[in-house]
Amino acid sequence: MTASPLDLSQDAASVTAQLVDIPSVSLAEKALADIVEEALRALPHLTVDRDGDAVVARTNLGRAERVVLAGHLDTVPIADNLPSRLDADGLLWGCGTTDMKSGLAVQLRLAATLPEPNRDLTFVFYDAEEIAAQFNGLKRLVENHPEWLAGDFAVLLEPTDAQVHGGCQGTLRVRVQTTGRRAHSARSWLGENAIHKAAPILARLAAYEPRRVVIDGLVYPEGLNAVMIEGGHAGNVIPDTCAVIVNYRFSPDQTEAEALAHVNEVFEGFEVVPTDSAPGALPGLSQPAAAAFVAAIGTEPFGKESWTDVARFSALGIPAVNYGPGNPKLAHTREENVSVAAVLEAEERLRAWLTA
């Protein structure tokens, strides 16, 4: 069934509900991308482009500064939490309410109601942020159309509880592998148990003391954790292979190469195979555009305790921050919800900044 057109005359909380009720799990964002593109093309003050399921809309007013407002269209898999529902306490429940369709709603409302902002604006809506980096729509835009993303400052409307989160952690995943010799479990002494050999890997992780790095006054706590274990063939076979999948969340003071070197040092003596990596982003809050934004929002900034696509803007030389409605601790949960008041407040704060 085709979704109804978006009604951007409604407030941002109502637009959030409209967006939430259009399922858009990663790699299945087309229906939402179509309806967002349709709404943006109806606005005569915007130039609209599309690449796959990523949509970019821009004003062209010749302002001295251009700001990029960006957000991802996709959600994690639905957990019996659609359609959206609004409760008596003013909480909107449903998959994507926090991460991050409330942020998308704020973008769309600003796109519809600010034909002459004090800065030129670029609105970016992209696909596949919640899965492996190879699918990421913003990554594709950086590669295919970097000129669409040009700007002096970027705001990624990820949920931050209406706080400014500067920069982001980097993330690295590796397989720490062991090998043994397969045998019948009734004659285990004839084999070498690769799962047992993983015990020192887990011991090193349990004893590991992560850094807490301070950059520009913002704290970035690191973490090195096992997230999966792979091994075993059958209930009567001594396993000859095992791998502990480890995720390292590292401070943006390290490069990806430095992070990998550190993980290799921690697991010296074991085979370490990198499987996925993305750089962090320094906060850059001393940049004039970023400092002006922090002052306009009026809250104390914090370091981002996760990886986000601000790193992609940072790689383009564009200072970027995370700022949006919603509690990030509720992201990806069955109980995901967002306060109507928080969505409206985020829209009004950004509107005030873009019209002052």
Residue 80 DSSP code: S
Q: How far is CA 25 from CA 81, 122, 151, in A?
A: 13, 24, 29
Q: What are phi and psi of 293, to 5 degrees?
A: -65, -45
HSE toward the beta carbon, residue 163, CA cutoff 13 A: 14
Catalytic residues: 74, 129
Cα-only R_g, the chain: 23
Q: 98 with 337: CB under 8 angstroms?
A: yes
Q: Are 235 and 184 in contact (CB under 8 A)?
A: no
Query: In this structure, what is the dihedral angle of CA atoms 50, 55, 59, 63, given to the nearest 10 degrees?
Result: -100
Strand pairing class (54-58; 47-51):
antiparallel
Among the listed residues 172, 185, 162, 158, the one whose alpha carbon sits nearest the alpha carbon of residue 272: 172
C-beta neighbour count of 257 within 10 angstroms: 10
CA distance 277 to 206: 23
Phi, psi of 24 (to 5 degrees): -150, 55
Question: Measuring CA to CA, which residue among 174, 150, 115, 103 is closest to residue 331?
Answer: 103
Structure tokens at 260: 């990998």
- DSSP state, 263? H
